[in-house]
Amino acid sequence: MALLSRRSVLTAALGAALAVPLASAPASAVVGGAPASTTAYPWLAAVGSPIFFVRPSGQFCGGALIKPDRVLTAGHCVSMFRSVPGLLTATFGRDELTGSGGETVAVTSVRVHPRYRETSFRDETVGHHDLAVLTLARPVRRPLASLGSPGSARTGRIAGWGFTSENDLFNTRLRAARVPLPGDAACERAYGDSFDPSDMVCAGSAAADSCQFDSGGPLVARGRVVALVSWGYGCGKPGYPGVYARLDSLP
Ligand code: 4AZ
Protein backbone atom coordinates (compact mmCIF):
# COMPACT_ATOMS: atom_id res chain seq x y z
CA MET A 1 0.00 0.00 0.00
CA ALA A 2 2.70 2.43 1.04
CA LEU A 3 4.62 1.16 -1.93
CA LEU A 4 1.72 1.97 -4.21
CA SER A 5 1.52 5.54 -3.01
CA ARG A 6 5.25 6.07 -3.53
CA ARG A 7 4.88 4.69 -7.01
CA SER A 8 2.02 7.13 -7.58
CA VAL A 9 4.14 10.08 -6.47
CA LEU A 10 6.77 9.04 -8.94
CA THR A 11 4.23 8.51 -11.71
CA ALA A 12 2.67 11.89 -11.01
CA ALA A 13 6.00 13.71 -11.03
CA LEU A 14 7.14 12.08 -14.24
CA GLY A 15 3.69 12.29 -15.82
CA ALA A 16 3.38 16.00 -15.04
CA ALA A 17 6.80 16.66 -16.42
CA LEU A 18 6.27 14.64 -19.58
CA ALA A 19 2.56 15.45 -19.95
CA VAL A 20 1.81 11.86 -20.90
CA PRO A 21 -0.26 9.29 -19.07
CA LEU A 22 1.95 6.71 -17.42
CA ALA A 23 0.77 3.23 -16.63
CA SER A 24 3.68 2.56 -14.37
CA ALA A 25 6.84 4.16 -13.17
CA PRO A 26 10.31 3.05 -12.32
CA ALA A 27 11.03 2.30 -8.80
CA SER A 28 13.09 0.46 -6.56
CA ALA A 29 17.51 0.69 -2.44
CA VAL A 30 18.80 -2.07 -0.75
CA VAL A 31 17.24 -3.59 2.38
CA GLY A 32 19.64 -5.18 4.86
CA GLY A 33 22.80 -3.93 3.17
CA ALA A 34 25.70 -1.68 4.03
CA PRO A 35 27.22 1.41 2.40
CA ALA A 36 29.18 0.56 -0.71
CA SER A 37 31.53 2.45 -3.00
CA THR A 38 31.26 2.89 -6.73
CA THR A 39 34.98 2.06 -6.87
CA ALA A 40 33.81 -1.54 -6.31
CA TYR A 41 31.15 -1.03 -8.98
CA PRO A 42 32.86 1.26 -11.55
CA TRP A 43 30.40 0.18 -14.26
CA LEU A 44 27.32 0.92 -12.12
CA ALA A 45 25.12 3.71 -13.46
CA ALA A 46 22.61 5.84 -11.59
CA VAL A 47 19.92 6.27 -14.23
CA GLY A 48 17.93 9.45 -13.78
CA SER A 49 16.56 12.63 -15.22
CA PRO A 50 16.87 16.31 -14.30
CA ILE A 51 13.05 16.43 -14.48
CA PHE A 52 12.85 13.95 -11.59
CA PHE A 53 13.54 16.63 -9.03
CA VAL A 54 12.18 14.65 -6.07
CA ARG A 55 15.48 12.71 -5.93
CA PRO A 56 19.06 14.09 -5.80
CA SER A 57 20.83 13.60 -9.13
CA GLY A 58 17.32 12.87 -10.49
CA GLN A 59 18.10 9.19 -9.83
CA PHE A 60 15.33 6.63 -10.11
CA CYS A 61 17.03 3.46 -11.30
CA GLY A 62 20.32 1.62 -11.63
CA GLY A 63 22.07 0.26 -14.71
CA ALA A 64 25.27 -1.38 -15.91
CA LEU A 65 27.79 -0.14 -18.48
CA ILE A 66 28.06 -2.95 -21.04
CA LYS A 67 29.93 -1.03 -23.77
CA PRO A 68 31.69 2.34 -23.51
CA ASP A 69 28.48 4.02 -24.75
CA ARG A 70 25.76 1.51 -23.74
CA VAL A 71 23.99 1.07 -20.42
CA LEU A 72 21.78 -1.91 -19.64
CA THR A 73 18.84 -1.11 -17.36
CA ALA A 74 15.30 -2.33 -16.65
CA GLY A 75 12.66 -1.83 -19.33
CA HIS A 76 10.14 -0.41 -16.84
CA CYS A 77 12.69 2.26 -15.80
CA VAL A 78 12.85 3.88 -19.20
CA SER A 79 9.96 2.71 -21.38
CA MET A 80 8.14 6.03 -20.91
CA PHE A 81 11.25 7.86 -22.14
CA ARG A 82 11.38 6.08 -25.51
CA SER A 83 10.29 9.17 -27.41
CA VAL A 84 12.28 11.57 -25.22
CA PRO A 85 15.62 9.82 -24.53
CA GLY A 86 17.38 13.18 -24.12
CA LEU A 87 15.61 13.60 -20.78
CA LEU A 88 17.63 10.70 -19.36
CA THR A 89 21.10 10.73 -17.84
CA ALA A 90 23.52 8.07 -16.61
CA THR A 91 25.81 8.98 -13.70
CA PHE A 92 28.88 6.92 -12.78
CA GLY A 93 31.13 7.10 -9.76
CA ARG A 94 28.76 8.93 -7.39
CA ASP A 95 28.47 7.09 -4.06
CA GLU A 96 26.22 9.75 -2.56
CA LEU A 97 23.57 11.21 -4.87
CA THR A 98 23.49 14.57 -3.07
CA GLY A 99 27.11 15.09 -4.11
CA SER A 100 28.59 15.94 -7.46
CA GLY A 101 31.33 13.30 -7.74
CA GLY A 102 31.79 11.13 -10.79
CA GLU A 103 30.47 11.94 -14.24
CA THR A 104 27.05 12.37 -15.79
CA VAL A 105 26.41 11.59 -19.44
CA ALA A 106 23.30 12.31 -21.50
CA VAL A 107 21.33 9.54 -23.18
CA THR A 108 20.55 9.70 -26.89
CA SER A 109 18.40 6.62 -27.41
CA VAL A 110 16.35 4.07 -25.52
CA ARG A 111 15.85 0.55 -26.84
CA VAL A 112 13.40 -1.53 -24.81
CA HIS A 113 13.37 -5.34 -25.16
CA PRO A 114 10.97 -6.15 -28.04
CA ARG A 115 9.15 -8.65 -25.81
CA TYR A 116 8.84 -6.31 -22.82
CA ARG A 117 5.32 -6.36 -21.40
CA GLU A 118 3.57 -5.66 -18.14
CA THR A 119 1.13 -7.73 -16.13
CA SER A 120 0.25 -7.34 -12.47
CA PHE A 121 0.53 -9.21 -9.20
CA ARG A 122 -1.68 -7.63 -6.53
CA ASP A 123 -0.68 -3.94 -6.64
CA GLU A 124 2.71 -4.56 -8.20
CA THR A 125 3.51 -4.19 -11.87
CA VAL A 126 5.21 -7.30 -13.22
CA GLY A 127 7.71 -6.68 -16.01
CA HIS A 128 8.40 -9.49 -18.47
CA HIS A 129 11.68 -9.27 -20.42
CA ASP A 130 12.24 -6.19 -18.27
CA LEU A 131 15.38 -4.98 -20.05
CA ALA A 132 16.46 -1.92 -22.03
CA VAL A 133 19.65 -0.56 -23.51
CA LEU A 134 20.51 3.15 -23.38
CA THR A 135 22.90 4.74 -25.83
CA LEU A 136 25.11 7.41 -24.29
CA ALA A 137 25.97 10.70 -25.98
CA ARG A 138 29.65 9.86 -25.63
CA PRO A 139 31.70 6.86 -24.61
CA VAL A 140 32.90 6.80 -21.02
CA ARG A 141 36.28 5.52 -19.96
CA ARG A 142 35.34 2.98 -17.32
CA PRO A 143 35.56 -0.76 -16.83
CA LEU A 144 32.59 -2.61 -18.34
CA ALA A 145 30.33 -4.99 -16.47
CA SER A 146 30.78 -8.61 -17.45
CA LEU A 147 27.52 -10.41 -18.00
CA GLY A 148 26.63 -14.00 -17.31
CA SER A 149 24.03 -16.39 -16.05
CA PRO A 150 23.46 -17.43 -12.44
CA GLY A 151 24.04 -21.12 -13.15
CA SER A 152 24.00 -22.94 -9.86
CA ALA A 153 25.06 -19.95 -7.75
CA ARG A 154 23.40 -19.94 -4.30
CA THR A 155 24.19 -16.36 -3.38
CA GLY A 156 24.72 -13.05 -5.09
CA ARG A 157 25.16 -9.34 -4.40
CA ILE A 158 22.87 -6.44 -5.16
CA ALA A 159 23.76 -2.74 -5.21
CA GLY A 160 21.66 0.37 -5.48
CA TRP A 161 20.66 3.80 -4.18
CA GLY A 162 17.09 2.80 -3.30
CA PHE A 163 15.07 2.50 -0.12
CA THR A 164 16.55 0.65 2.83
CA SER A 165 13.07 -0.44 3.92
CA GLU A 166 9.53 -0.08 2.66
CA ASN A 167 9.29 3.06 4.77
CA ASP A 168 12.62 4.74 4.05
CA LEU A 169 12.08 7.19 1.26
CA PHE A 170 15.23 9.20 1.82
CA ASN A 171 18.24 6.99 1.25
CA THR A 172 20.60 8.50 -1.31
CA ARG A 173 23.73 6.48 -0.51
CA LEU A 174 24.91 3.57 -2.61
CA ARG A 175 24.42 0.40 -0.62
CA ALA A 176 24.99 -3.26 -1.34
CA ALA A 177 23.85 -6.53 0.22
CA ARG A 178 24.54 -10.21 -0.11
CA VAL A 179 21.35 -12.05 -1.07
CA PRO A 180 20.45 -15.75 -1.26
CA LEU A 181 19.32 -17.22 -4.60
CA PRO A 182 16.65 -19.57 -3.25
CA GLY A 183 15.69 -21.00 -6.66
CA ASP A 184 12.65 -20.79 -8.90
CA ALA A 185 10.34 -22.72 -6.57
CA ALA A 186 10.53 -20.00 -3.89
CA CYS A 187 9.23 -17.38 -6.33
CA GLU A 188 6.70 -19.76 -7.87
CA ARG A 189 5.29 -20.30 -4.34
CA ALA A 190 5.11 -16.57 -3.78
CA TYR A 191 4.00 -15.34 -7.17
CA GLY A 192 2.46 -18.27 -9.08
CA ASP A 193 2.30 -17.71 -12.81
CA SER A 194 3.49 -14.11 -12.47
CA PHE A 195 6.99 -15.53 -11.99
CA ASP A 196 8.38 -16.82 -15.28
CA PRO A 197 11.65 -18.71 -14.69
CA SER A 198 12.52 -18.46 -18.38
CA ASP A 199 13.13 -14.75 -18.05
CA MET A 200 13.30 -14.11 -14.29
CA VAL A 201 15.63 -14.95 -11.38
CA CYS A 202 14.46 -15.21 -7.75
CA ALA A 203 16.73 -13.61 -5.10
CA GLY A 204 16.64 -12.15 -1.62
CA SER A 205 15.09 -12.83 1.76
CA ALA A 206 13.41 -11.00 4.58
CA ALA A 207 16.93 -9.98 5.69
CA ALA A 208 18.25 -8.64 2.37
CA ASP A 209 16.33 -7.48 -0.66
CA SER A 210 16.12 -4.81 -3.32
CA CYS A 211 13.52 -2.06 -3.07
CA GLN A 212 12.21 1.05 -4.78
CA PHE A 213 14.81 2.96 -6.83
CA ASP A 214 17.07 -0.11 -7.04
CA SER A 215 15.35 -1.21 -10.24
CA GLY A 216 17.61 -1.76 -13.22
CA GLY A 217 20.56 -2.32 -10.87
CA PRO A 218 22.67 -5.46 -10.83
CA LEU A 219 22.39 -8.87 -9.26
CA VAL A 220 26.02 -10.05 -9.31
CA ALA A 221 26.94 -13.73 -9.01
CA ARG A 222 30.34 -15.34 -9.63
CA GLY A 223 31.73 -11.90 -10.55
CA ARG A 224 29.20 -11.28 -13.30
CA VAL A 225 26.00 -9.34 -13.62
CA VAL A 226 23.43 -12.12 -14.06
CA ALA A 227 20.14 -10.23 -13.73
CA LEU A 228 18.68 -6.77 -13.05
CA VAL A 229 16.34 -5.66 -10.24
CA SER A 230 12.83 -5.86 -11.66
CA TRP A 231 9.90 -6.30 -9.25
CA GLY A 232 8.57 -7.95 -6.12
CA TYR A 233 5.79 -7.79 -3.57
CA GLY A 234 7.05 -5.16 -1.15
CA CYS A 235 10.63 -5.26 0.11
CA GLY A 236 12.04 -7.76 2.58
CA LYS A 237 8.61 -9.30 3.17
CA PRO A 238 8.90 -12.86 4.49
CA GLY A 239 7.93 -15.33 1.73
CA TYR A 240 8.24 -12.76 -1.07
CA PRO A 241 11.74 -12.71 -2.57
CA GLY A 242 12.72 -10.09 -5.13
CA VAL A 243 12.40 -10.83 -8.82
CA TYR A 244 15.17 -10.03 -11.29
CA ALA A 245 15.24 -9.89 -15.10
CA ARG A 246 17.51 -12.57 -16.57
CA LEU A 247 20.09 -11.45 -19.08
CA ASP A 248 20.01 -14.69 -21.09
CA SER A 249 16.97 -13.24 -22.80
CA LEU A 250 18.90 -10.23 -24.15
CA PRO A 251 17.84 -9.69 -27.77
C1 4AZ B 1 10.24 -1.54 -7.08
O2 4AZ B 1 9.19 -1.05 -6.73
C3 4AZ B 1 10.70 -2.79 -6.45
N4 4AZ B 1 11.85 -6.40 -3.33
C5 4AZ B 1 11.95 -3.29 -6.77
C6 4AZ B 1 12.37 -4.45 -6.19
C7 4AZ B 1 11.54 -5.11 -5.33
C8 4AZ B 1 10.29 -4.62 -5.01
C9 4AZ B 1 9.87 -3.44 -5.59
C10 4AZ B 1 11.99 -6.39 -4.73
O11 4AZ B 1 10.95 -1.03 -7.93
Catalytic-labelled residue, pool 130, 196, 199, 214: 130
130 close to ligand 1 (CB < 6 Angstrom)? no
pLDDT at 30: 83
At residue 21, the pLDDT reads 31
**pTM of the entire predicted model:** 0.90
Q: In a mutational test of the pocket of ligand 1, which residue from 9, 210, 243 has the highest number of ligand atoms less than 8 Å from its CB?
A: 210
Task: Identify whether 76 is a catalytic site residue.
Answer: yes
Per annotation, catalytic residue among 76, 113, 128, 129: 76
- Spacing, Cα 234 to ligand 1 middle (Å): 6
Q: Determine whether the shortest distance from the Cβ of 77 to ligand 1 is under 6 A.
A: no
Q: Which helix (H) or strand (E) holds 138?
A: none
In this predicted model, what pLDDT tens digit does every residue of 170-224 receive, in sequence order?
899 999 999 999 999 999 999 999 999 999 999 999 999 999 999 999 999 999 9
- The whole-number pLDDT of residue 249 equals 65
What amino acid is encoded at 84 in this protein?
Answer: V
Mean pLDDT per 10-residue run, the chain (251 residues)? 36 42 40 96 98 96 98 98 98 98 98 97 96 98 97 97 89 97 98 97 97 97 97 97 89 62
Is 229 a pocket residue for ligand 1 (Cβ < 6 Å)? yes
Query: Does the beta carbon of 29 lie inside 6 Å of ligand 1?
Result: no
Give the span between the Cα atoms of 242 and 195, in whole angstroms.
Answer: 10
pLDDT of residue 251: 62
Task: State yes or no: is 130 an active-site residue.
Answer: yes
Q: How far is the CA of 226 from the centre of ligand 1 (A)?
A: 17
Q: For ligand 1, is residue 242 a contact (CB within 6 Å)? A: yes
**19 Ramachandran zone, left/alpha/beta (phi>0; psi -120 to 50):** left
Three-state SS string across 23-37, please?
CCCCCCCEECCEECC
Q: Which has the closest alpha carbon to 90: 46, 53, 131, 145?
A: 46
Contact 217 CB / ligand 1 (< 6 Å): no
Q: How far apart are the first and last CA of the chain?
A: 34
